[in-house]
Amino acid sequence: MSATVTPLISATDIQARIHALAADIRRDNPDADLHFIGVLKGSVFFMADLLRAMSGTVTMDFIAVSSYSGTKTTGEVRMLKDVDRGLQDRHVIVVEDIVDTGLTLHYLQDLLRARGPKSLRCACLLSKPSRRKIEVPVDYIGFEIEDRFVVGYGLDFDEHYRHLPFIGTLTV
Ligand code: IMP
């Protein structure tokens, strides 16, 4: 693949921000058993680092949805894998790599809210506010970025670049 990745957010800055987010989440839910649901596959590294930075009781599960092909949104959200456990009376935190148009998170929030959690909050490592097609509440945001296609730290272009420890912009 002949593309260039230009560093945007360093591995050190990502880790520092994640530790701050973990502290914010625990501060807002001081005594709660928190149930984190990572959205596959983009959230895997964020989920792993966020949970290891959390204090108190936490559990984890994963859900998989697909809405993208290449760098263009299809606008259609599909469920690929459901969560393993019920959400009744749990304090749920959805963990997403990036909120772009908002369609994926909106779909997930509707789906998960219908399962009766005690609370439902969302943590997204990245947000591109200028791209929003639908307003979705995001409780914890790592970094707001401009309208650029980014890869690394879980984010892919056709399944490439997820393994990079930093986030960069992709020029194809
Ligand atoms: P949304 O439904 O438009 O908010 O898109 C959410 C999903 O699109 C994310 O979970 C990513 O998988 C993907 N996505 C959006 N922007 C980017 C990007 O810049 N790089 C890689 N994936 C992206």
Domain layout of the chain by residue ranges:
10-148
C-alpha distance from residue 86 to each of 69, 72, 82 (Å): 30, 33, 10
Is residue 74 very low, low, confident or very high in pLDDT (cuts 50, 70, 90)? low
| Residue 155 beta carbon below 6 angstroms from any ligand 1 atom | yes
Whether residue 73 has its Cβ less than 6 Å from ligand 1: yes
Which pLDDT score, from 0 to 100, does residue 81 have? 97
Q: Nearest CA to 159 among 51, 13, 44, 82? A: 44
Q: Is the pTM of this model over 0.85?
A: yes
Whole-number Å distance, alpha carbon 56 to ligand 1 midpoint, is 30
| Nearest atom in ligand 1 to 73's CA | 3
* Distance (Å, whole) CA 7 – CA 23: 26
The stretch 7-34 carries a mean pLDDT of: 98
- Token pair, residue 28, equals 């807002």
Q: Is the CB of 125 inside a 6 Å radius of any atom of ligand 1? A: no
Shortest-distance atom of ligand 1 to CA 155: 21
Could you name the CATH architecture of 10-148?
3-Layer(aba) Sandwich (3.40)
Of the chain, the percentage scoring pLDDT greater than 90 comes to 90
Q: What is the mean pLDDT of residues 71-91?
A: 86
- Residues 141-170 have a mean pLDDT of 97
Task: Tell how far the Cα of 44 is from the centroid of ligand 1, in angstroms.
Answer: 14
CB 15 within 8 A of CB 125: no
Please report the pLDDT score of residue 2 as a whole number: 74
